Amino acid sequence: MSTEPESPSPSRTLRSLWVAVAALFSLVVALVGGILSFAQGTAIPGVVLYGGGIFGGCMALALVVLGKLGILE
């Protein structure tokens, strides 16, 4: 039997804020990636696809990190 107190679960509002921060961070990373792709000479549709892929990957990584930290429990 463990006598350690359990860590309190973050409130729903706090979890929502962390997800919003992750989404905004992912958006900034995707914008930078899209701009760099455009500067390299990629056509606009390719830039949008490239930025979307970056956003999806970054958002997935951010949600995994938040989950492992116990924020999304």
Domain annotation covers residue 59: yes
DSSP state, residue 73:
-
Q: Contacts for 62-68 with beta carbons within 8 Å, 24 or more apart?
A: 62/22, 62/25, 62/26, 63/19, 63/22, 66/18, 66/19, 66/22
Question: Which structural domain range is residue 31 located in?
Answer: 12-68
Domain annotation covers residue 16: yes
pLDDT bucket at 35, cuts 50 / 70 / 90: very high
Domain annotation covers residue 73: no
Domain annotation covers residue 26: yes
Q: What is the mean pLDDT of residues 44-72?
A: 96
Q: Which two tokens stand for residue 64?
A: 């995994």
- Is residue 29 within 8 A of residue 54, CB to CB? The reply is yes
How many structural domains are present in the chain? 1
Q: Is the pLDDT of residue 6 over 90?
A: no
* pTM score: 0.82
